[in-house]
Structures are given as structure tokens and as C-alpha cells.
Structure 1
């Protein structure tokens, strides 16, 4: 699909926040009692997260998370060459996080910290929408000097987590190191709230280094200022060689070199939780890119990944789901 990916390198390296996801199912009234924002991501301190946990009425599900981590775990489960770069605490959450990476075929490249491992409280409402409240903890301490071109040796694509715009020095160093290593840079805009808060930095400092730009409709609207989806994708394609507009249950659109490919969604089951849907979509898409598949095939793999994760709680697709996804892959 993309001639700049031709070569021996097949690795996909993700740089992002090492976080544990704490998932709870609550109604809209509960959410309204703790925040005026539904959907998106809000940064909070550790005491806020603990205070909310004391009020929850549902069981708390604990799974490793973080946007780039979810994507890289998906690449690993597809048997791709996957590495995750981040920072964790010297605690049980951090040990759980690292072991989970290894079990999912991901090479951990983690810096240690005495600060607690970060975590995300995801409140999932009956409409399957999730509102995320993030305490970054150790993840926020990953420093520019802990990233170098050697970090990305063997990488065809480096995925820079959109949330890193809140650490501008780290984001700038990661972009420069990825380029120096000869990798393409992919960025998922992550959340419309992130885009709104850091729009100038994203447009002026980040986008010039991005080769693959991925967004859902809310993020695309915040980034471009355009409500018309076709116009928003066109504007995104002026910013990156590959532009993707994820449309949830309506599928996706992929723009490459002026050609737009419409990708149908996968459907049929009951949608339980949208946590990780965009992240796993990106996993299938980036994996397909390094394998040299067409835009349509990349999109179909991505749709299968995004669909399967919506059928379970959290971003951990069970093996039966991965088996169905692998059945969508072209014969080697």
C-alpha cells in the first residue's frame, strides 16, 4: 500500500503511557456526579481516582492499558514484531503490566520509577461509551534523554501516542529519534479533548513529522475544525501521506496518495464496551501496512480487531477473537 515501507524492517514500536485500566460499569447519573464530560479523557490526580473508586457500585476489572500499549499488544497478538517503550512503577501494577506485554508477544522496553504505575479509571455507561479519568503516575516521568534513535532500531513504524502532547519535550525527542532511525511515524489523535487542549502544538510541532495520521470523527472535527467528514479527511490527507478516519459502526475511510478507500464495519454481535476500539483498530491497520497489504485489506483487518474488542470488557481480546481475526489475513 505504501512504497516507503518497502524493505527489511517489519517492527512496530509504540511509545506511550504504561497504564493499568480500571474498568467500571455505571449509569449516566453516576458519571454526571463526578464529571461534566462524557467520553474523551480527563487528566486527574491519584486521589481523584481513589475517591471515585470508593463510590462505584459495580465490580472493578483491572487490565493493562494505555492507547499505544493496546495497539502494540494487538500487533503482538497478530504475530507482528512489537515493542513498547514506556515507564512503570516498582509496584504490583507495574509487574503485572510488564508480564502482560511478554505474554502477548511484545518486547518491553520499560524504564523503572519509584513513582506508582499510572492508571486509568474508565467509567462505561449503558450506551457502551467510556469516559476515561487518567492518573499518569510513573508514565509521566519518561524523559527525553531516555529516548534515542537506538530505541527504534529495526522499526518500520513508530507509533507515538497522542497523549504524549502533554509532555512536549518527550514528544519532540521521540519524533526526532524516530526520523533519525529511518522509521515512519504514526500518530493516533487519541481523544478530542487532547486535540482541543494542544491543537497549536500538534499542528505546528507534531504533524510535520507524521506520516500516518489516524483519528475518529470527533478527533478529526477538533483537529480540522470541519464537521463534514469528507472535507475533514481531505484536510487530514494534506497533513500526512496516509490519513485515516475511523467512523465506528459505520466503518472507516483511508486516504492514500489522493485515493480514498471505504472500509465496511464488522458487525453481528452485541457491543459491550468500546474501550480500546480505536487502539485495536490501529493495531490491525499498522500490522497490515508493514506486511505490504492493500489499503482495503489493512482496513478489513483493522475493522475485525476493532469489532472483536467491543464484544468484551476492556481492551483484552480473548484467543477465540484473535483466531477469528487471523482468519481475515491473506494467505502467506
Structure 2
């Protein structure tokens, strides 16, 4: 699909999670036996154990990769919807209220299980390492994912973590395609790529229009560490191939042309939580609204920069004002 879709709505589907953010040392992470920068699935008891090991006071905010992106699109002034499953508890209420306050239409079903949560350990280099208890979010039932949920959707943002549930992933892809939406997939983490190779190649080749990856994820998927070959491999079967390069900006492939987008410069990052998710918010908002690749990339870069200036994935209003000024 190479033409712009008629609708500007962006619909996300993914895990409805609450982020628990902790600033800690590299040694703290090492003692947990965790490789920096990725995501590890844990049980509810593990969340409690990790929290008991720190004397820091955590910050608690709504999260989940697709949710962060969709909230960003709502804050940009876009038309946004989020599909997920939450618990009938305080965390679940916090999550849904955050969607509504960001002008996002919630399509959430309720579960007797607890709302999912993620501990993000933020080390002094601003990198975040995640421990995820999926809770109620895993109970989103594939047979309930119908094309009507994606009505009037230009782009469907499917978080890569859904690859851990192949039946749900394929239900989302087929329903969104039936509704006429483009499919955007963020590869989420190198662990996700390694764990999903059995279905990932065919999924991307047959269904994905917009593929987004950072350097680690791109190398895990393509086998290439150099940006030129990695981007070429990422772009082989999609309309838009995106390689995020952190402080070196990003590369976007479209119609056999590569556009380099510079990273925003300024203050040092406080926390990289949500940086990729908010980058995707700016980029997808631009594509859905018919912006050029360069302008969409610049908007994405601004969103990624602003979220790195705060702890967590929630950009304050003054940050959104600076971003919206670019539109």
C-alpha cells in the first residue's frame, strides 16, 4: 500500500499496563541478573520482590508500548483509539482515565485479574530495563478482535510484544486489514525478535506496511549491525522501513529512497522510557496526516527528545506545546 489512507485515525492494540518507574544503579540491575536494555516477563510475585529490594520511591504512570504511542497521538491532536484489556481495579481505572484525558477513545474490556504492570529500572545512563507482569492484558481474546474495532482507521499500531501471543497478533492483523488499515509494527525488543522468529518473517512479508526497529532489534531481525544493510533488510517487504539510531537520529526508507532524520539536541536525557513509543507517535501522526517523510521524521524526533527529558513516558503539556508548534 503506497497511497495515503482516507482516514486520519490511528488505532493501537496492545497491553494495557501501568508503569512503575525506579531510578537505580547498574549494580542493582546486575544483582537482579538482568541484561540492560531489554524486557523480561515476570509473575506478580516477582514485581513485589523487586520493589522490596529498592529503597527508592517509584513513580506510577500508565504505560504499555502501543498505549504510549496512542496517547502521544491524542496529545498531538490526532484521532486515536486504543484496544486492550484491563483489571477492574485502581490501576485499571488510572489507565482508562489517562486515555480519556489524552483524547483517546478506549476500547477496553474488564477482567477479574489484576491490571498488568511493568517495573522499569532506570540506570544513571538513562537506559531502562523492564520487568513485565502482563496480568489482565494477556486475556484479550482473539475471537473478540473484529474489523469493527478498526473502523475508519488509517493506521493500526500493533506493539511487538503481541508476538508473544501469535493467535492474538494474527487476529489483530487480519481484522485491521479487513477494515482497510495499514499495519505498523514496532519490533519492541531484541528478546521479542529472538523469541518470535518462527512467525515474524512471514508476518512482516505478508501483512506489515510500516516496520520500526532500533539498532539492537534490527540486528536481531536482519543479522546486520551496519545501518545501511540493516535498513535495506528491514525495508525489503514493507512500504516504510524505519531504523532508529538513538542520539544519531533515524533512517526512514520509502519508495527506495532513504531519508536521514537528525536527532533533537539539547539537554541530556533523564530517562529513555517511552522514547521509541513517542517517536512512533510523531511519525505515524505525520504519515496519517499526509506530511512528508522529512516532516514526519522531524516530528517523531521532537517527541522522542521531549519524553527523554522526564521520568516515564508522559510528556508534560509544555513539552507538547513545543512539539505542536512544529505542526
* TM-score where L is the length of structure 2: 0.98
Distance 2:246 2:205 in 1: 24
Q: Which residue of 2 is the match for residue 52 of structure 1?
A: 50
1:64-75 correspondence runs (5 A): 64-75=62-73
- The answer to whether the 8 A contact 1:172-1:206 is kept is no
Deviations 1:277-307 (A, max 9, x none): 0000000000000110110000000000000
1:187-266 correspondence runs (5 A): 187-266=185-264
Q: How far apart are 1:4 and its partner, in Å?
A: 2.1
Q: How far apart are 1:146 and its partner, in Å?
A: 1.5
Q: Which residue of 1 is the match for residue 325 of structure 2?
A: 327
Q: Which residue of 1 is the match for residue 154 of structure 2?
A: 156
Deviations 1:180-216 (A, max 9, x none): 0000000000111111111221112354200000000
Q: Which residue of 1 is the match for residue 3 of structure 2?
A: 4
Q: Which residue of 1 is the match for residue 142 of structure 2?
A: 144
Q: Which residue of 2 is the match for residue 310 of structure 1?
A: 308
Q: Which residue of 2 is the match for residue 282 of structure 1?
A: 280
Q: Which residue of 1 is the match for residue 181 of structure 2?
A: 183
Deviations 1:250-271 (A, max 9, x none): 1000000100000011011131
1:88-103 correspondence runs (5 A): 88-103=86-101
Among candidates 80, 83, 86, match of residue 81 of structure 2: 83
Q: Which residue of 2 is the match for residue 14 of structure 1?
A: 12
Q: How far apart are 1:36 and its partner, in Å?
A: 3.2
Distance 2:34 2:5 in 1: 47
Structure 1 spans left out of the alignment, 5+ residues: none
Q: Which residue of 2 is the match for residue 272 of structure 1?
A: 270
Look up the SS of the partner of 1:128 in the other structure.
coil
Distance 2:51 2:5 in 1: 48
- The answer to whether the 8 A contact 2:116-2:137 is kept is yes
CA pair 6-204 structure 1, distance change in 2 beyond 3 A: closer
Distance 2:203 2:214 in 1: 21
Distance 1:57 1:200 in 2: 41
1:84-123 correspondence runs (5 A): 84-123=82-121
Cα root mean square deviation, aligned: 0.9
CA pair 290-318 structure 1, distance change in 2 beyond 3 A: same
Distance 1:146 1:208 in 2: 22
Match status 1:295 vs 2:293: yes
Match status 1:132 vs 2:130: yes
Look up the SS of the partner of 2:3 in the other structure.
helix
Q: How far apart are 1:35 and its partner, in Å?
A: 2.1
Distance 1:245 1:103 in 2: 31
- The answer to whether the 8 A contact 1:26-1:57 is kept is no
Runs ≥4 residues deviating over 4 A: none
